[in-house]
Amino acid sequence: MGEKHYKLGNYEFDTLREYRQAQEDLKKIKYITDELDIYDPEVALRLYNLMRSKKIKFKSEVGKSFFWCISDIVADNSKHVIGRQGGRTEEAMEPLMETNWQKVLGIACIAIAVICFAYYAVSEWQDYRSAKKLENLQQMTDVNNMIYFNAEDTETEIPFVRPEIASDDEIEPPPILEEYAAKHKENPEMIGWLKIEGTQIDYPVMQSEMDQYDYYLQHAFDKTEDSNGTLFVDARNNIINRDTNIIIYGHNMKSGMMFGSLKKYQDKDFLKEHSTIQFDTIYEKGTYQIIGVCLAKVKYQDEDGFRYYNFLRAKNETEFTDYLVNIQQLEVFEQALDASFGDQLLTLSTCNNYIEDGRMFIVAKKI
């Protein structure tokens, strides 16, 4: 894949992470400028102190520009006060100096505000367009009219290293379910559908080739660019010759789209009321019982430690048990994980800002 560049107004970023950090900073700036008069001396000084003490944090060049803007406002106010108190001879020039400073600062802050407005306008439009696409996709697919089984029916950068398993090409695939045939024909990279009651999650699930494993982070079902992305299965997973653990990734969107509503599962009452997940591959239907809600951190490649996103297939009971022991330590509610060797697992993984490079993931077993 070619080198990617991400732009936000006049700012350009080399990585998706830097781009996301700039987006977060813009949201903070918009909130501050909407709620506060940053030209008020007391307000500006309070903001300056909060930013200096890291109680308000910025992580990008956009945030740094805003910090310097506030710093200049504070400095300009201080200079004006000192000039009046000291009775300087150049006091007559201060109104002109102040006017020039205010013009510069005003232009800078207006520019930031324009960027914020443009970003939010484009973001809102993209979300609306994405939502309409998904709504049309849901209507065109018979998935919403399917009968879902329930328990009583008994039914940062990830280091990808594919396990030694038989390729899908070596196995005759079963027939595709009728309700998914048309959409699969439209995009053959669709491998299933995920639906969770009580959330906005009712989406197709994709899977790319290994050399484009993260393609659907920034692309919609129809392969148009979309910041919401699309849910996708780990490129290492084998869907036909099913692995022990299927991992599905999705963005934690503030709008609630994709996996933005998974955070609801950090509420124990919500978990009790919505403890099942419907995940169908294009070949078979499946209902899963949630057995764990977990928080973790993506580790660097040279860092030791357990990586939940590398557990795909258990060769034996010992490997499966070791996985459960590690997952137990990451469980939010510290409840026992009701699973045993031979169970088919499903993991839903998304970002979570409880720490830097944080992740939230939900583990479920097929019933």
Q: Are 367 and 267 in contact (CB under 8 A)?
A: no
Name the token pair of 286: 């499946």
State mean pLDDT over 141-164.
37
Counting every residue written for the chain, the total comes to: 367
Statement: residue 306 has pLDDT above 70: yes
Q: Are 245 and 163 in contact (CB under 8 A)?
A: no
Tell me: the pLDDT tens digits for 46-102? 888 888 888 888 888 888 888 888 888 888 776 555 555 554 444 444 554 555 555
Contacts (Cβ under 8 Å, ≥6 apart) of 1: 211, 212
- The whole-number pLDDT of residue 110 equals 59
**How far apart are the C-alpha atoms of 118 and 202, rounded to whole Å?**
29
List the one residue out of 18, 89, 91, 87 whose CA is nearest residue 58: 18
Please state which of the ranges 72-76, 168-172, 294-298 shows the lowest mean pLDDT: 168-172
Please state which of the ranges 104-118, 152-166, 246-260 shows the lowest mean pLDDT: 152-166
- The whole-number pLDDT of residue 135 equals 64
Please tell me the class of the 146-366 domain: mainly beta
- The whole-number pLDDT of residue 176 equals 95
Q: Are 80 and 41 in contact (CB under 8 A)?
A: no
Statement: residue 166 has pLDDT above 60: no
Residue type, 16: L
Tell me: the pLDDT tens digits for 89-114? 444 445 545 555 555 556 566 566 65
Q: Is 315 exposed, middle or buried (0-12, 13-18, 19+ CB in 10 A)?
A: exposed
DSSP states of 258-306:
BTTTGGGGGSHHHHHHS-EEEEEESS---EEEEEEEEEEEPPPTT--S-
Q: Are 156 and 223 in contact (CB under 8 A)?
A: no
Tell me: the pLDDT tens digits for 262-274? 999 999 999 999 9
Q: How many C-beta neighbours within 10 Å does residue 2 have? A: 4
Band of pLDDT at residue 122, cut at 50, 70 and 90: low
Each domain of the chain, given as residue ranges in start order, spans: 6-134, 146-366
Residue 363, strand partner residues: 292, 347
Helix (H, G, I), strand (E, B) or coil at 232: strand
CA geometry: angle 296, 302, 303, nearest 5 deg: 35
- The whole-number pLDDT of residue 160 equals 40
Percent of the chain with pLDDT over 70: 71
- The whole-number pLDDT of residue 175 equals 94
- The whole-number pLDDT of residue 154 equals 29
**How far apart are the C-alpha atoms of 190 and 281, rounded to whole Å?**
9
- The whole-number pLDDT of residue 249 equals 96
Average pLDDT of the chain is 79
Helix (H, G, I), strand (E, B) or coil at 17: helix
Sign of the CA dihedral 33, 39, 40, 46? Answer: positive
- The whole-number pLDDT of residue 301 equals 65
Name the token pair of 160: 């990808």
Tell me: the pLDDT tens digits for 216-231? 999 999 999 988 899 9
**How far apart are the C-alpha atoms of 181 and 323, rounded to whole Å?**
35
- The whole-number pLDDT of residue 240 equals 92
For helices 41-52 and 61-86, the axis angle rounded to 10 degrees is: 130
Band of pLDDT at residue 26, cut at 50, 70 and 90: confident
Task: Identify which has the larger pLDDT, 143 or 214.
Answer: 214
Band of pLDDT at residue 121, cut at 50, 70 and 90: low
CA geometry: angle 220, 27, 31, nearest 5 deg: 145
List the one residue out of 146, 90, 87, 121 whose CA is nearest residue 285: 146
- The whole-number pLDDT of residue 137 equals 65
